[in-house]
Structure 1
Amino acid sequence: MKQYFLKIASILLLVTACNNNGIDITQDQIEIDMSDFFVYTDNDTDVTSKQIQGKRNIEPCYTMQNLNRLLNENPGLEKRMYDIEYHTRKFIATKKPTGTPGGGPPGNNEDPDPPSNPIPYDGPITIPVVVNVIENSEGQVSDAQINSQIAILNEDFNNLNPNTSKVPNEFASLVANYNITFTLSKISRKTSSKNSWGTRDAMKSSKKGGIDATDTSHYLNIWVCEIGGGILGYAQFPGGPTSTDGVVISTNYFGETSGAYGDGRTATHEVGHWLNLRHIWGDGGCSVDDYVDDTPISDGPNYACPEYPTVACGSNDMTMNYMDYVYDDCMYMFTVDQHTRSRALFASDGFRSSFVNSN
């Protein structure tokens, strides 16, 4: 798999515990290993997905290709994503000092500017949502469809998906409750005769006939339109341009519709990317990880509704994870470490701290 690495070096952090008087009582060294971090990925897995499914008109997720494009167009993005990942691993290390995420191929990197010790935000999170609908005719995307999608997001990010009862015993203790509530703040609508908006963010620009984002530091923006190319959706990872931050979902896969991808889980998957989750297989082979400790290593996506166990790289795949490519009805869990990884974004110096910071 073709990969481009930043120059990486291991970093030693001094974490100091203090008593109530502010006097140092312990001092431990925590190593933040960034040697496996990479951002560019090969797109071959998505080509393979079409062949495996036998549905050449379906592309479950275009997020990694979108990331590659943004990296090429924004020279500073790679460094910003490195800094966010460093912050994330520091956050995880201070919460779980016995291990750090990762496990992919080695590399080298220069030290980033060390961020301050992140202060966790452990309370409930409310994320206001702006739904930007670009439709061929007025009412093509109904209010009921929009409301159903908000309800599905709240179900999935609060561990209320009824199918979670099907999680195999080996993964049962890993099921996480994100404790995130999504609220519908605004619906922006525009009619357009355009039948395909593509994947270069044209739907996010009024100058290109789309709808401009609403304050992406305080609102999750979701664009609903005909993407084209059989693409269900795509997202932007933390660190990308503020004007295009959010997720895009094709009209037929947004909320409760019909078919194997008609239960609104495309949005759950894409919001997972928006919350800094990679695909469950790490977008590579057995030597590449998703930077999450409690998800099994895998060599590629799963499709349809796989039987358990499905074995890859010497372990059972977590096919029911929202960050795989299975049908909507067959994905029904996030893990504890995925939750911790996303929570780093809302820490005091996290990329999405503005969602919990009232200032």
Structure 2
Amino acid sequence: MAFDGGRLAPGAVRDWCGTMPVHRRLLDSDPGYARAREEIETFTYDAAREDPPPLGLVTIPTVVHVVWSRPEQNVGDEQVASQIEILNRDFRRRNDDVAILPPVWAPVAADADIEFALVDVTRTRTEVAAFDTDDGVKSARAGGADPVSPDTHLNLWVCQLGGGLLGYAQFPGGPLETDGVVVTFTAFGSSGTATAPFDLGRTSTHEVGHWLNLRHIWGDDGDGCGGDDFVADTPNQGGPNYGKPTYPKVSCANGPHGDMFVNYMDYSDDAAMVMFTRGQALRMAAALRGPRSALLAAAATS
């Protein structure tokens, strides 16, 4: 996919999130991951049926790894701080632009009761011009930076991603040594090198959603209508949305309200995605109770 300064080039194939290719690679190569994913989905389904009490506010210790080969890729502390602030607003439903929601979806827009506390920023100069979804950026031996305590911390790498990727994440259940989120330096935060239309930090919001076990809102079945994101309050839709759709954007006979293109787990521009749903918040809470429960212990002692 062609990518130029943060913008999609004309005619580009716009599959800018690499999470599902990573997921499929691990399914094919790691039987333990496949078993873990089955167990996690069973746990998540049971948790939704049991309706457990709320967790309360969870604060996730976060380490940002800046991996750079050119000076402009060495994003500054202010840009890092802007990304953490955006994550905290988005996951707490404190983003001012939630006001653009079509009224029909306002009642299901959720405060996920999750915040992020920056505990360290590492900086690594590399000879690698651009990284891919092979997790090289997560390894010092491959020219990246090793994760820090990935069972109890969110590790977030910022680098030059190739192939037009804006970012990718690893779902819960994968190897600890590659656990975390990767975002390209032109789609990180809201200052410095962040470039429109991906200059409001929503790539990280999207990818951290994956890291907390959210799927793409259309269910990853291409442009069909048979996919499932395992969340009841997100409408079925026929593939991802791009740019800034106009309400209603109808697909898969989901009228009159159509696609929830304002959801962080779609592919809309940063300025168009402004919400998680209550069902997505419950799914993230299940991830914190189950496969990411070590984060709760870390949050309690931090």
The two structures share one fold, judged by TM-score above 0.5: yes
Of structures 1 and 2, the one with the larger relative CO (CA 8 A, separation 6+) is 2
What is aligned with 2:21? 65
- The answer to whether 1:264 aligns with 2:201 is yes
Q: Which digits, 9 at most, give the CA deviation of each residue in 1:302-336, with x for residues without a partner? A: 00000000001111100000000000000000000
Match of 1:148 among 82, 85, 98: 82
Shift of 1:71: 1.4
Cα distance in 1, alignment partners of residues 101 and 279 from structure 2: 16
Q: Where do residues 201-280 of structure 1 align in structure 2 (5 Å cutoff)? A: 201-256=135-190, 257-280=194-217
Q: Write the letter of the residue equivalent to 1:150.
A: I
Query: Any conservation in 2 of the 1:253–1:262 contact (CA below 8 Å)?
Result: yes
CA contact (8 A) 1:156 1:333 kept: yes
Q: State which of 316, 324, 341 in structure 1 corresponds to 2:283.
A: 341
1:138 to partner: Cα distance: 5.3
Q: Does 1:84 align with 2:24?
A: no
Q: Which residue of 1 aligns with 2:65?
A: 132
Task: Show the 5 A alignment for 1:30-109.
Answer: 54-56=10-12, 59-95=15-51
Report the CA distance between 1:269 and its aligned residue.
0.2
1:312 aligns with 2:251: yes
In the alignment, does 2:118 pair up with 1:184? yes
Q: Return the offset for 1:181.
A: 1.2
Q: Are residues 306 and 220 of structure 1, via their aligned partners in 2, closer, same or farther at CA, if it must alter by over 3 Å?
A: same
Work out the CA distance in 2 between the residues paired with 1:138 and 1:247: 22
> What CA distance in whole angstroms lies between the structure 1 residues aligned with 2:251 and 2:39?
31
Name the residue aligned to 2:234.
295
The letter for the 2-side match of 1:332 is V
* Count of residue pairs brought into register by the alignment: 285
* Secondary structure of residue in 2 paired with 1:76: helix
The Cα shift of 1:54 comes to: 3.7
**Corresponding letter in the other structure for 1:339:** A
Describe the superposition over 1:202-236 as per-residue Cα deviations: whole angstroms up to 9, x where unpaired: 11111112111111111000011111111100000
Unpaired runs of 5+ residues, structure 1, are: 1-45, 96-118
Kept after mapping to 2: 8 A contact 1:138/1:191: no
Give the letter aligned to residue 205 of structure 2.
T
For 2:56, give the aligned amino acid: G
Identity over the aligned pairs, expressed in percent? 44
Counterpart of 1:282?
A: 219
Give the structure with the larger helix fraction. 2
Residues 168 and 182 in structure 2, CA contact (< 8 A), matched pair in contact too = yes
- Quote the Cα distance in structure 2 between the aligned partners of 1:342 and 1:191: 34
How far, CA to CA, are the matches of 2:22 and 2:169 in structure 1?
Answer: 8
Q: Give the TM-score normalised by structure 1.
A: 0.76
Q: What secondary structure sits across from 2:83 in the alignment?
A: helix
Counterparts of 1:131 and 1:287, CA distance in 2 = 37
TM-score normalised by length of structure 2? 0.90
State the partner residue of 1:327: 269
Partner of 1:169: 103
Q: Which runs of 4+ in 1 moved over 4 A?
A: none
Is contact 1:53-1:304 (8 Å) kept?
Answer: no
CA shift, 1:59, in A, is: 3.9
RMSD after superposition: 1.8
Find the aligned partners of 2:33 and 2:260 in 1 and give their Cα distance. Answer: 30
Q: Name which of structure 1's ranges 259-268 and 68-77 shifts more when overlaid on structure 2.
A: 68-77
